[in-house]
Chains A and B, each alone.
Chain A
Amino acid sequence: MSRLITIRSKTGFFSFLVQKRAVLVLAVLFVFTLALFLFSMALGNNGLSFADVWTTLIGQGTEANALVIGTLRLPRVIVAVLVGAALSVSGAILQGLIRNPLASPDMIGITNGAALAAVTFITYFAGTVSIQWLPAAAFVGAGLISIVIYLLAWSKGVTSTRLVLIGIGISATASSLTMLMIILSPMSSASQAFTWLTGSIYGASWDNVYALLPWMIIFLPAAMIYARNVNVQELGDEMAQGLGASVQLHRGLLLLVCVALAGSAVAVAGAIGFIGLIAPHIARKLVGPSFDTLLPVAALIGSLMLMAADMVARTAFQPMDIPAGVFTAGVGAPFFIYLLYRNRNK
C-alpha cells in the first residue's frame, strides 16, 4: 500500500502528494485539541459538566454558565490556542532557518525585543492609547530587534552560530532595558508588567482575541504556504543557492513571518518560553522534517501544550492563578537539556 496519496486536478493545474501518516496525525491531534478545548472549558474554579458546556456554546445555557464560559474561559482558551500555534510555528521556521535544533524565538532575543516594546508601551502609553495596539507595539519591537540581530550577525551572510550568540547578547541587553522600564513605571503597572513578563494568559478577554486574530489569520497561512522554502534552506546555503533559491531574500521573508507570529503572541500572552522550542521537535518526531506537514502539526501541538499548561496553571493551585509560562519553562528547560545531550556530538 502506498504511503502517499496523490491529489491532482484533471488539467494538472495543481498536483501534490499527501502523506497518509501526516493526515492521520493531523486528524488525531485535531481531535485531541478539540477534546482539550472542551475539557478546559469545563474545568475550573466552578466545574461544569460537558453537557453544560455544550449547551452554553450553542447558546442555550443558563445565564451564569454563559458568563463563566463566554466572558472568562472561552477567550482565555482561544488565546491559548492561538498563542501556542503562533509560537510553535515561529519556532519551527526559526529552527529550519538557523539549522539549529536549539533555536526558538525566546532563545535568539525576538521575544525579549517584543517584551521590551510591550513593557514600554504599558509604562508610557497604557492610559492614553488603546490596549488594542499592544500587539502592534510588540511586533514593532520584535521586528526592530530582529533587524538589529540580523545586521549585527551579518558578515558576508548570516551564519547560524553567530545569529544565536548575537541573539543572546541582544536579549540580555533588552531584558535589562525591560527591567529598567518596569522599575521606572508606577507601581501598579509594575506588577502588571511583571506578571505579563512571566507569560500568562490570565484574564485574557475578547479584546485580546480580537487583537490577536488579524495577525494569526494573515501570518499563520502565510507561514504554511511559504514554508516549502524552509525545506530548501535547511540543505545549507550553497546547496540552496545551487537549487536556484535566493537564499537571503527567502531568509528575510521567513524571518518576517517568524517575527510577526512571535511578536503578536508575546504581545498578548507575554514571554511564554519554550513552546517555540519543544513543539517543533515533537512535530518532527511525528511527521518527519518536511515543512509542508511539519507546520500544521507543530501548530496543533503548540496549541495543545499551551492549553494544557494554562489549564494546570489555573486549576492546580486554586485559588491562585500561576502564569502558564512557569509550567512551559518547567517542562521546556529539561527538554532543552535533553536536546543539548542528544546533539552533543554535532
Chain B
Amino acid sequence: MSPLFRQTPGKVWGLVFGFFLFIICFVGSIVLGTTKIPVMMAVESFIQYDPSSNDHVIIQTTRLPRALFAALIGSNLAIAGALMQALTRNPLASPSIFGINAGAVFLVVLALTFLPISSLNQLVWIAFLGAGFAAFAVYFLGSLGRDGLTPVKVVLAGSAMTALFTSFTQGMLVIDEARLQSVLFWLAGSIAGKTADGLLPVLPYMIVAGVAALVLAQPVNILASGEEVAKGLGQRTTFVKLAVAVTVILLAGSSVAVAGSIGFVGLVIPHVARILVGTDYRWVIPYSAILGAILLLVADTVARFVVMPGELPIGVMTGMIGGPFFIYMARKGLRSKGVSA
C-alpha cells in the first residue's frame, strides 16, 4: 500500500498539521474536565499566575503536568513500538506484547514490597532493569529455532512472560492488601494526580532516548531491509541492534515507572504512521511521536468523562482501543506479510 504522503513537502506539511492537532489536544486536555476552564483563563494562568484563583491553581498543578505526562508517555511508547517493529521486522511487536510493561511493573512492585525504596529515581532504574530483562528474554525465546523471529513465536513468548510476571505481581499484591489499593490504579496505567515533580526524574532519560531514536532512524532503515543487506552495506548490525534495544528499554521503562502499564499505544501508532508516510523511519519516528502524544491526550481527556465523577485509568482506555486493533492486525496484517495465518 502506498503511503498517504509520498513527497517530502507533503510529509513536512503533514507533520506541521499533526503538530497543530497536537496543540489543540493539549489545550483541550488542559481546559476540559470536571471543572471546565475557559481557554483565556488557561492562557492567563501562564502569563500572570494568580495563586488565589482556583482555576489557575488547577491548571498549573494538575492539568498541565497531566497533559505533559500524557504527551510524553504517548510519544515514548509510540517511538518504542516503531523501533521494535523495525528491529524485529514484526508488525505485532510493541512494548506491551513483548512483556516489557509487565516485566517493569513486576520488578517495581517487588522492589516496593521488599526494599525500603521511596524515591522515584531508584524506581526508574528498577523499571529499566525489569523492562530490559523481559525484552531480552522474549527476544531470545522468540528467535529460537531455524526460522528466526516469527511474529507468532514472539507473541507467544511475550504472553508467556507477561503471564508469569503478572501472576507474581498479583501474588505480591494479594499478600500486601494495604498496598493493593494504592498500586492498583498505577498498575492499570494511570496518569491521574501526577505533579510536575513526578516527571523530573524520568525526563532526562526520555529526552536522551527520544533523540537517540531520531539519530538511529537511518541505521534502522538499513537494518529493516534485512540483516545480510545491512551487513553488506557495512553496518555494524550488532551495535545498532543493541543501541535500539537500549533506547526501547529507556523509553518503555521510564513510561512504566511513572505511569504504570499503558498498553497498545506502541502497537497501534507506528502502523498509523506507516500508513501516512511509508516505511522511512526518519519520518515514521517523528510521526509516531506526535500521533502517540495525540492518542494519549485524547484517551486521557475521554477517560475523565466516561465514569464521571470518577475516572478511568488510561491503560484501560488504550487497551479497549488497542485490543480490537490487534485483532484487526492479526486478521489483515499478517496475511500480507506472508505469515501463514
Contact partner of B156 among A106, A164, A182, A322, CB < 8 A?
A: A164
A195 cross-chain contacts in B, Cβ below 8 A:
174
> A190-B181, A344-B145 in contact; A329/B319 too (CB < 8 A)?
no
Asked if A107 and B171 make an inter-chain contact with CB atoms under 8 angstroms apart, the answer reads no
B184 cross-chain contacts in A, Cβ below 8 A:
182-183, 190, 194
Is B139 an interface residue when CB atoms closer than 8 A count as contact? no
Asked if A176 and B174 make an inter-chain contact with CB atoms under 8 angstroms apart, the answer reads no
A162 to B168, CA, bound (A): 29
Is B161 an interface residue when CB atoms closer than 8 A count as contact? yes
A161 to B322, CA, bound (A): 20
B185 cross-chain contacts in A, Cβ below 8 A:
183
A107 to B334, CA, bound (A): 19
Asked if A337 and B157 make an inter-chain contact with CB atoms under 8 angstroms apart, the answer reads yes
Interface of B is mostly: helix
B157 cross-chain contacts in A, Cβ below 8 A:
337, 340
A311-346 CB contacts (< 8 Å) to partner B: 317, 320, 322-323, 325-326, 328-330, 332-334, 336-337, 340-341, 343-346
Is B315 an interface residue when CB atoms closer than 8 A count as contact? yes
A172 to B326, CA, bound (A): 9
Asked if A179 and B144 make an inter-chain contact with CB atoms under 8 angstroms apart, the answer reads no
B310 cross-chain contacts in A, Cβ below 8 A:
183-184
Contact partner of B324 among A173, A320, A322, A343, CB < 8 A?
A: A173
Asked if B156 and A169 make an inter-chain contact with CB atoms under 8 angstroms apart, the answer reads no
When C-beta atoms are compared, the residue in chain B nearest to A184 turns out to be B307
Is A6 an interface residue when CB atoms closer than 8 A count as contact? no
A262 to B152, CA, bound (A): 24
Contact partner of B153 among A183, A328, A340, CB < 8 A?
A: A340
B161 cross-chain contacts in A, Cβ below 8 A:
333
Contact partner of B144 among A166, A176, A190, A340, CB < 8 A?
A: A340
Is A290 an interface residue when CB atoms closer than 8 A count as contact? no
A320 to B145, CA, bound (A): 42
Is A155 an interface residue when CB atoms closer than 8 A count as contact? yes
Is A65 an interface residue when CB atoms closer than 8 A count as contact? no
A231 cross-chain contacts in B, Cβ below 8 A:
none
Contact partner of B319 among A106, A176, A323, A343, CB < 8 A?
A: A176
Asked if B145 and A161 make an inter-chain contact with CB atoms under 8 angstroms apart, the answer reads no
> A165-B152, A183-B184 in contact; A344/B144 too (CB < 8 A)?
yes
> A326-B170, A344-B144 in contact; A166/B330 too (CB < 8 A)?
yes
A199 to B167, CA, bound (A): 9
A161 cross-chain contacts in B, Cβ below 8 A:
152, 339-341
Chain B 144-177 interface mask (CB, 8 Å, partner A; 1/0):
1111000011011101110110011011011101
Asked if B173 and A172 make an inter-chain contact with CB atoms under 8 angstroms apart, the answer reads no
B141 cross-chain contacts in A, Cβ below 8 A:
337, 340-341
Asked if B159 and A194 make an inter-chain contact with CB atoms under 8 angstroms apart, the answer reads no
B339 cross-chain contacts in A, Cβ below 8 A:
161
Q: Count of A residues near B, CB < 8 Å? A: 56
> A162-B341, A169-B323, A333-B164 in contact; A155/B331 too (CB < 8 A)?
yes
A179 to B303, CA, bound (A): 14
When C-beta atoms are compared, the residue in chain A nearest to B96 turns out to be A172
B307 cross-chain contacts in A, Cβ below 8 A:
184
Candidate in B141, B185, B319 with the most chain A CB atoms within 10 angstroms: B319
When C-beta atoms are compared, the residue in chain A nearest to B311 turns out to be A183
B155 cross-chain contacts in A, Cβ below 8 A:
164-165, 168
Contact partner of B312 among A152, A180, A273, A343, CB < 8 A?
A: A180
Tell me the smallest distance from the CB of B138 to a CB of chain A, in Å.
10
A279 to B233, CA, bound (A): 49
B181 cross-chain contacts in A, Cβ below 8 A:
187, 190-191
Is B212 an interface residue when CB atoms closer than 8 A count as contact? no
B263 cross-chain contacts in A, Cβ below 8 A:
172, 176
Asked if B327 and A326 make an inter-chain contact with CB atoms under 8 angstroms apart, the answer reads no
Contact partner of A172 among B174, B312, B319, CB < 8 A?
A: B319
A246-286 CB contacts (< 8 Å) to partner B: 273-274
Tell me the smallest distance from the CB of B313 to a CB of chain A, in Å.
6
Is B128 an interface residue when CB atoms closer than 8 A count as contact? no
Chain B 277-318 interface mask (CB, 8 Å, partner A; 1/0):
000000000000000000000000000000100101101101
Is A170 an interface residue when CB atoms closer than 8 A count as contact? yes
B177 cross-chain contacts in A, Cβ below 8 A:
191
Contact partner of A152 among B153, B313, B318, B327, CB < 8 A?
A: B327
A320 to B171, CA, bound (A): 11
A343 cross-chain contacts in B, Cβ below 8 A:
145
Is B264 an interface residue when CB atoms closer than 8 A count as contact? yes
Asked if A194 and B170 make an inter-chain contact with CB atoms under 8 angstroms apart, the answer reads yes
Is B111 an interface residue when CB atoms closer than 8 A count as contact? no
Asked if B327 and A169 make an inter-chain contact with CB atoms under 8 angstroms apart, the answer reads yes
Tell me the smallest distance from the CB of A330 to a CB of chain B, in Å.
7
B155-209 CB contacts (< 8 Å) to partner A: 155-157, 159-161, 163-164, 167-168, 170-171, 173-175, 177, 180-181, 184-185, 188
A183 to B319, CA, bound (A): 15
Contact partner of A323 among B170, B312, B316, B331, CB < 8 A?
A: B170
Which chain B residues have a beta carbon within 8 Å of chain A's beta carbons?
92, 96, 141, 144-147, 152-153, 155-157, 159-161, 163-164, 167-168, 170-171, 173-175, 177, 180-181, 184-185, 188, 263-264, 307, 310, 312-313, 315-316, 318-320, 322-324, 326-327, 329-331, 334, 339-341
23 intermolecular pairs with C-beta atoms under 8 Å apart: A102-B156, A152-B327, A159-B341, A162-B334, A164-B152, A164-B155, A168-B155, A169-B323, A172-B263, A173-B322, A175-B319, A176-B316, A183-B184, A183-B185, A198-B167, A328-B167, A329-B163, A332-B164, A336-B163, A341-B141, A344-B144, A344-B145, A345-B145
Which chain A residues have a beta carbon within 8 Å of chain B's beta carbons?
102, 106-107, 152, 155, 159, 161-162, 164-166, 168-170, 172-177, 179-180, 182-184, 187, 190-191, 194-195, 197-200, 273-274, 317, 320, 322-323, 325-326, 328-330, 332-334, 336-337, 340-341, 343-346
**Top 8 A-B residue pairs of the complex, sorted by shortest distance between their CB atoms:** A176-B319, A173-B323, A344-B145, A333-B164, A326-B171, A329-B167, A169-B326, A165-B330
